[in-house]
Amino acid sequence: MSEEMTLEQKNKEETIDQVDVIAEGSGFLSKMDKNKKSQITNGVKGFVLGVFRWIIIIGIAYVIIGPVLGMISRSFFSDADNYNPMVYMIPESPTLERFKVAASTLNYKSTVINSLIYSLSLMVIQVLMCSMAGYGFARYNFPLKKLFFACVVLMIVVPTHTIMLPLYMTFSNFDVFGIISLINGKPLNLLSSAVPMYIMTFFSCGLRSGLYIYIFTQFFRGLPKEIEEAAFVDGCGVWYTYFRIMLRNATPAAITVAIFSLVWQYNDTFYARLFNISDSLVISKRIVGLQLTIGNVYKIYDPNILELYMDAGIILMMIPLVVIYILLQKQFVEGVERSGIVG
Amino acid sequence: MENKKFMTLTRRRSIKGFFFIVPWLIGFLWFYLRSLMLTVQFSVSELTVSPGGGYTLDFVGLDNFIYAFRAHGTFKQILTTSIGDMVVDVPLITFFSLLIAMLLNREFKGRTLVRAIFFLPVILNSDAIVGAMGIARGLMVGGLSNTSSEILDAAATTGVSVDYYIQMFTSLGIPTIFIQYVMGAVGRISDIINASGVQIIVFLAALQSIPGSMYEVAKIEGATAYETFWKVTFPMVMPHIITVVVYTVVDSFIDSEVVDLAYATAFDQNNYGLSSVFSLVSTLVTCLILGLTVYFIQKRTFYYN
């Protein structure tokens, strides 16, 4: 019985196939025509869209790059060039005077090295501590986890300026459960040094740490659980698993966080102002007062000329960032895409 | 050792996991929660710094609040302008960054270079840099300025008659407010571009996470590009719009004048109580706006997972 059934079915299928073939054959010519037409219209459409896209891209790229180019060219202007209306972009008598003065006023070499060390060390702490918290949130279950994660979101949402006063107070009379005043007689004043920043970053409450914890949590959630299970079966401890296996796998997220943290720390003036961190440590703080300092020291009273010095100073400040960005650009963009920065 | 016998594996794991977040938890309680409480406490008291380095608090009730709203010269005005700016900017930045992310998501030649350029504002966001760039931009790009009247002035020199287009749109019956909004947006295009670096990144990541099979289905069903955008792309990035809106609102408030006012009140005039009121009120307003927007967006959001 069953054999007969299958035979019948086979026959049926074959006839259906034949019908299909015939149907295709009859409509073959008209289909060719249609394909050609739609190909041409598609080609034109694609071309127009492509042109349109490039117009937008080039326009926006110009808006972004334009000021940077303008700043670079203006930093080479001599006084005469600045007032010559015929000079646009290319200076007639280029001068390195602006860079020399700006560099000496900024005390460039030592300031840049100091602030790079400062931001890089904070970056390492940020990546370590925030990835730890993120890993904890993503992989372990403990009581009140949801509430704690809501607190992370709260850290992102609450603007830092809300808590700036208490922070200032906390660090001007720094004390841990009265231990320090017991030893020292009075609480420590940690302001005008970089210590508060390090303490806060170490407890992952530094500059935008909430965002970084969020990024790491989302990323670790996306990693397969099997990696850890294999490690566990092979006898890895929790910390070994985290440092040697999970952190390695989180490279894209780590690079994203690292670049964000480095750049924002390097550019930050809020905490630098709040904790009154010495401006030989934080170049961004020094650059704010650059125009005034140069005006006072070199007796230059023309604001237009002072702007040229400012341009040169900012270019000097940006150079390390741009170099790092160019070096890590590819990893950054790819890392951002894979790091699950989104929810 | 005896104790360990009674602990199950999950229990042990949860304790170990808790250790991972302990540093953060200490930091949060110590720096954030305590500070928030202190801010509230400061705002209802008068703070006097004693010479020894400590401070004393005198409870004054709602005096600071009443002073801020009834007597202070500029607070209300600054607060409303900050909020107004934010309400105008947030939708602009959101849609602009979505558009750019969609542009950058396609494969084309030179994509890496274009991406590198588009993320440049993220790298160059610093008070000092932004300020100096503003000056350079004014000299380079010329016509880009803040108000629509300034655009008109600038456009007159280039020979493009903006007046004519405005007339045209007005005669079409488009409300003047809308035209001014668009004009303002065009005028501040560089500000918007500079403020939307991170948002573009978020949307790019979101677009990358949309499964390709969805687009395939849409194509097979014969959907046009327009329909595909509204029926596939938009609903899929909808959850991330919340992220972007939250980020944009917070970011724009950090740069706003209210922060400067609070800072100046605290450290120049040593009026800590009033400064806390300013911070607290602006934070509450921000949170309120955030809550409302998130609520309204969430109502229309479709969650894929």
Is residue B205 in a domain?
yes
Residue A265, chain B, CB below 8 Å: the answer is: no
**Predicted local distance difference test score (pLDDT) of residue B178:** 79
**Predicted local distance difference test score (pLDDT) of residue B140:** 52
Q: What are the C-alpha distances in Å from B235 to residues A26, A147, B216?
A: 42, 28, 16
3-state secondary structure B23-36: HHHHHHHHHHHHHH
pLDDT tens for each residue of A6-60: 445 555 544 444 444 444 444 555 555 667 777 888 888 888 888 888 888 888 8
**Predicted local distance difference test score (pLDDT) of residue A29:** 53
Q: B84: alpha, beta or left, given left = phi > 0 and alpha = psi -120 to 50?
A: alpha
Residue A154, chain B, CB below 8 Å: the answer is: yes
Is residue B296 in a domain?
yes
Mean pLDDT within A223-248: 84
Task: Please give the residue of chain A at the shortest CA–CA distance from B120.
Answer: A64
**Predicted local distance difference test score (pLDDT) of residue B143:** 38
Q: Chain B interface, mutation test: which of A90, A161, A209, most B Cβ atoms within 10 Å?
A: A161
- The pair phi, psi for residue B269, each rounded to 5°, is -100, 0
Query: A290-328 burial by CB neighbour count: b if 16+ within 10 A, else e?
Result: bbeebbeeeebeeeebbbbbbbbbbbbbbebbeebbeeb
Q: How many CA atoms lie within 13 A of B48 on its CB side?
A: 6
Residue A143, chain B, CB below 8 Å: the answer is: yes
Mean pLDDT within B212-219: 89
Is residue B41 in a domain?
no
Chain B CB contacts of A202 below 8 Å: 23, 27
Q: How many domains does chain B have?
A: 1
Output DSSP code: residue B47. E
Q: Chain B interface, mutation test: which of A126, A162, A200, most B Cβ atoms within 10 Å?
A: A162
pLDDT tens for each residue of B106-143: 777 877 788 778 878 877 776 667 666 666 555 554 43
Using CB atoms and an 8 Å cut-off, which of residues 281-310 of chain A contact chain B? 284, 287-288, 307, 310
Higher pLDDT, B137 or B186: B186
Q: What are the C-alpha distances in Å from B100 to residues A58, B103, B198, B215, B240?
A: 12, 5, 12, 19, 15
Chain A CB contacts of B206 below 8 Å: 342
pLDDT tens for each residue of A251-266: 878 888 888 898 888 8
Binned at pLDDT 50, 70 and 90, residue A343 comes out as very low
Mean pLDDT of chain B: 78
Per DSSP, the three-state class of B59 is strand
> What is A21-42 written as a DSSP string?
HHHHHHTHHHHHHHHHHHHHHH
**Predicted local distance difference test score (pLDDT) of residue B132:** 63
Mean pLDDT of chain A: 80
Output DSSP code: residue B49. E
Alpha helices in B33-126 (DSSP H): 34-43, 63-66, 75-105, 111-118, 120-123
Does the pLDDT at position B105 exceed 70? yes
Chain A CB contacts of B254 below 8 Å: 159-161, 270
**Predicted local distance difference test score (pLDDT) of residue B144:** 40
Does A329 contact B112 at a Cβ distance shorter than 8 Å? yes
Separation in Å, CA of A303 to nearest CA in chain B: 12
Neighbour count for residue A42 (Cβ, 10 Å): 10
Higher pLDDT, B181 or B52: B181
Is residue B228 in a domain?
yes
Binned at pLDDT 50, 70 and 90, residue B146 comes out as very low
Q: Chain B interface, mutation test: which of A38, A203, A261, most B Cβ atoms within 10 Å?
A: A203
CATH number of the domain encompassing residue B138: 1.10.3720.10
d(CA B253, CA B82): 7
Per DSSP, the three-state class of B55 is strand
Is residue B16 in a domain?
no
Comparing CB atoms, the residue among B28, B103, B242 nearest residue A155 is B28
**Predicted local distance difference test score (pLDDT) of residue B287:** 85
Does B36 contact A141 at a Cβ distance shorter than 8 Å? no
pLDDT tens for each residue of A58-104: 888 888 887 788 888 888 888 888 787 777 778 888 888 889 988 99
Does the pLDDT at position A127 exceed 90? yes
Does B123 contact A325 at a Cβ distance shorter than 8 Å? yes
Q: Residues with Cβ < 8 Å from B7, sequence gap 6 or more?
A: B15
Higher pLDDT, A13 or B192: B192
Is residue B266 in a domain?
yes
**Predicted local distance difference test score (pLDDT) of residue B3:** 54
The answer to whether the beta carbons of residues A151 and B34 sit under 8 Å apart is no
Does B23 contact A165 at a Cβ distance shorter than 8 Å? no
Higher pLDDT, B251 or A203: A203
pTM reported for the whole predicted model: 0.79
Of A113-117, A205-209, B1-5, which has the strongest mean pLDDT? A113-117
By residue range, what is the domain housing residue B215? Answer: 72-146+188-300
Task: Please give the residue of chain A at the shortest CA–CA distance from B112.
Answer: A330
Is residue B161 in a domain?
no
Does B38 contact A56 at a Cβ distance shorter than 8 Å? no
Is residue B39 in a domain?
no
Q: Which two tokens stand for residue B1?
A: 């050792």
Residue A22, chain B, CB below 8 Å: the answer is: no
